[in-house]
């Protein structure tokens, strides 16, 4: 390619933003799916579309009391879009949970009846399983406790006048909805209630969805239904790249079989990565959708190196340190010698958990599909009960004002109603203080204390409300089971929660550090949309124990299955974070085999792969 052609290429995607403006024309609205690969400027195009709406439609939208809805995946992305659109009130940016709640908030009667049906269905299903199962087993005790919990909630429905929800809390109150329920309710209501669709149409004629490949499928299905009912009046715009799909609750095959009247603009340039990295990630996705990116004219050549070590007998810390030193010399970039300047990405959360010390916690809950997404993004109430409540309370044990704040906000013993109804408020507060003292006494100097012991301690003092799932599992805790009799009847969920409760409480601190983005190690979830000058990607199936990803299957060139496809996407996302140079580190049982496979599939040149250190 000539220099002139390369410079011209920098304008290759200019037509995309013009296409989006055309789609947003109120006289001829057209919904669209924008394909935007890694580093293509997806957010820039989203902001350009919003700026166009603000300048051309802002006045008329305000006059009609309408707004532009933007759905993002994270609060950080939400805040960035708000800032870049200059805090314009006509642009309403929210996370998926917040958006879902705005759709259903206030529909208390409909929510009540939806829950009544859902709870009755759940109870009936549990009763059928109980009738077929054996009495006196752990599984039976857990089912009965689960039935009782759902029956209590069912009985309270008629006295619940108003349902509440917060996208940023664990929603433990008896009148609260949980995160999963809000998404299902919103999706179901939009699809089945024409009146709600009309309200949505009148309020939000433009709905733009960032990271649509990971947006909850219930919401996406609802948006497709909404658009089909009002296609001449609204625009639904999806921004994304299925190759960067991370979470499992998104819409499979999004972008395929779109309605014929949808536009499908595509961005081809990559403004982030050096040429060698773009060449690699193009090869990685070659077996999927055939989308190939083009470097911009000022892109550096960049460096990619692959290091393969034996799984056993390798001092991994020393090897990774030596690789950084090698990359510093290769790239003449001293930043590789600064631990804080190198982003270390790993292909499996299990690896981070093992290295940081919360392996048992993750192993218990990660296999449970209904828990997985919330566990990885730090919103799973079962864990947050400890990370957001118990741990901060323990850490504040010497700060009486900090303790008072936590107890006042979260303890039923110190709630406004408890104090109002108490004969002696000082005695009531003394109960709360006794609960705090009991909990701190349990945790202090006792590193082996388990989550179960913490729950039992809190339950005995009444300091905090215990999540219902813990009550279900603890109900079967005292049942003796001989030869695992009845164990097969227990649900995977209850087995996972029971395993989690047996884990030492201390592991929650490392978990909280990890999901909070404060650890040295990160995964593709933690760096979604981010970029770094120097990236090291570490692959180790033995450490990861192959839950959902297996890099050796990907490198081996075998048949593509779900596990291989997941690993391919993960590998693509991590490699595409690199702005200058990329070091890939694999610990394999057969290093030579891995090297030969990588050369055979054409991802690397011979001089780019090392068996051990150079």
What value, to the nearest 5°, has the Cα angle with vertex 479 and ends 473 and 483? 110
- Give the angle subtended at the CA of 331 by the CAs of 328 and 332, to the nearest 5°: 70
- The dihedral through the CA atoms of 4, 7, 8, 9 has a sign that is positive
Q: Is the pLDDT of residue 1 over 50?
A: no
Angle 561-276-320 (CA atoms, 0-180°, nearest 5)? 75
Checking if the pLDDT of 338 tops 50, the result is yes
- Give pLDDT, residue 171: 63
pLDDT at res. 481: 47
pLDDT band at 485 (very low <50, low <70, confident <90, very high): very low
Q: 311: which residues sit within 8 A by CB, 6+ positions away?
A: 540, 541, 542, 587, 588, 589
Read off the pLDDT of residues 366-398 as tens digits, 9 standing for 90 and up: 888 788 878 887 888 899 999 999 999 999 999
CB atoms within 10 A of CB 3: 8
Sign of CA dihedral 500, 383, 393, 459: negative
Q: What pLDDT score does 134 carry? A: 86
Asked if pLDDT for residue 246 goes beyond 90, the answer is: no
Please state the rounded mean pLDDT for residues 576-587: 95
Please give the sequence-ordered ranges of beta strands (E in DSSP) within 353-409, or none if there are none. Answer: none
**Full-model pTM:** 0.77
């Amino acid at each position: 390619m000539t220099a002139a052609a390369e410079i011209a290429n920098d304008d290759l995607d200019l037509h995309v933003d013009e296409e989006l403006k055309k789609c947003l024309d109120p006289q001829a609205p057209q919904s669209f799916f924008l394909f935007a690969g890694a580093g293509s400027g997806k957010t820039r195009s989203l902001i350009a579309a919003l700026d166009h709406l603000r300048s051309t439609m802002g006045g008329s939208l305000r006059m009609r009391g309408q707004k532009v809805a933007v759905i993002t995946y994270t609060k950080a992305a939400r805040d960035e879009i708000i800032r870049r659109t200059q805090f314009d009130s006509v642009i309403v940016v929210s996370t998926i949970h917040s958006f879902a709640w705005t759709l259903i908030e206030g529909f208390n009667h409909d929510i009540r009846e939806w829950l009544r049906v859902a709870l009755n269905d759940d109870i009936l299903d549990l009763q059928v399983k109980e009738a077929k199962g054996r009495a006196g087993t752990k599984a039976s005790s857990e089912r009965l406790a689960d039935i009782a919990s759902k029956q209590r909630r069912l009985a309270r429905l008629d006295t619940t006048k108003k349902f509440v929800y917060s996208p940023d809390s664990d929603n433990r109150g008896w009148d609260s909805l949980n995160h999963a329920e809000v998404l299902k309710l919103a999706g179901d209501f939009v699809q089945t209630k024409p009146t709600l669709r009309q309200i949505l149409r009148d309020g939000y004629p433009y709905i733009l969805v960032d990271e649509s490949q990971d947006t909850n499928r219930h919401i996406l299905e609802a948006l497709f239904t909404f658009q089909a009912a009002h296609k001449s009046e609204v625009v639904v715009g999806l921004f994304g790249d299925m190759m960067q799909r991370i979470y499992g609750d998104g819409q499979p095959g999004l972008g395929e079989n779109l309605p014929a009247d949808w536009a499908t603009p595509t961005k081809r340039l990559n403004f982030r990565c050096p040429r060698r990295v773009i060449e690699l990630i193009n090869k990685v996705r070659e077996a999927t959708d055939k989308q190939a990116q083009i470097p911009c004219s000022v892109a550096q050549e960049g460096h990619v190196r692959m290091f393969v070590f034996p799984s056993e007998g390798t001092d991994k810390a020393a090897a990774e340190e030596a690789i950084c030193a090698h990359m510093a010399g290769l790239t003449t970039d001293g930043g590789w010698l600064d631990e804080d300047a190198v982003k270390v990405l790993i292909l499996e959360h299990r690896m981070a958990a093992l290295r940081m010390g919360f392996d048992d916690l993750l192993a218990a809950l990660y296999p449970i599909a209904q828990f997985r997404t919330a566990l990885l993004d730090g919103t799973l109430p079962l864990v947050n009960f400890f990370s957001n409540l118990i741990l901060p309370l323990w850490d504040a044990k010497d700060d009486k004002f900090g303790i008072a704040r936590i107890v006042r906000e979260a303890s039923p013993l110190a709630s406004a109603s408890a104090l109002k109804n108490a004969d002696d408020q000082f005695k009531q507060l003394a109960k709360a203080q006794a609960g705090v003292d009991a909990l701190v006494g349990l945790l202090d100097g006792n590193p082996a204390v388990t989550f179960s012991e913490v729950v039992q301690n809190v339950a005995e003092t009444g300091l905090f409300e215990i999540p219902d799932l813990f009550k279900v599992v603890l109900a079967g805790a005292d049942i003796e089971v001989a030869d695992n009799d009845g164990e097969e009847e227990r649900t995977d969920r209850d087995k996972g929660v029971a395993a989690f409760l047996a884990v030492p409480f201390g592991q929650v601190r490392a978990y909280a550090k990890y999901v909070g983005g404060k650890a040295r190690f990160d995964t593709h979830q933690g760096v979604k949309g981010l970029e770094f000058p120097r990236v090291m990607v570490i692959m180790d199936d033995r450490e990861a124990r192959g839950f959902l990803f297996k890099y050796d299957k990907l490198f081996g060139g075998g048949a593509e299955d779900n596990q291989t496809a997941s690993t391919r996407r993960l590998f693509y996302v991590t490699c595409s974070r690199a702005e200058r140079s990329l070091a890939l580190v694999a610990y394999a049982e057969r290093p030579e085999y891995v090297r030969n496979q990588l050369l055979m599939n054409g991802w690397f040149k011979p001089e780019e792969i090392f068996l051990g250190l150079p």
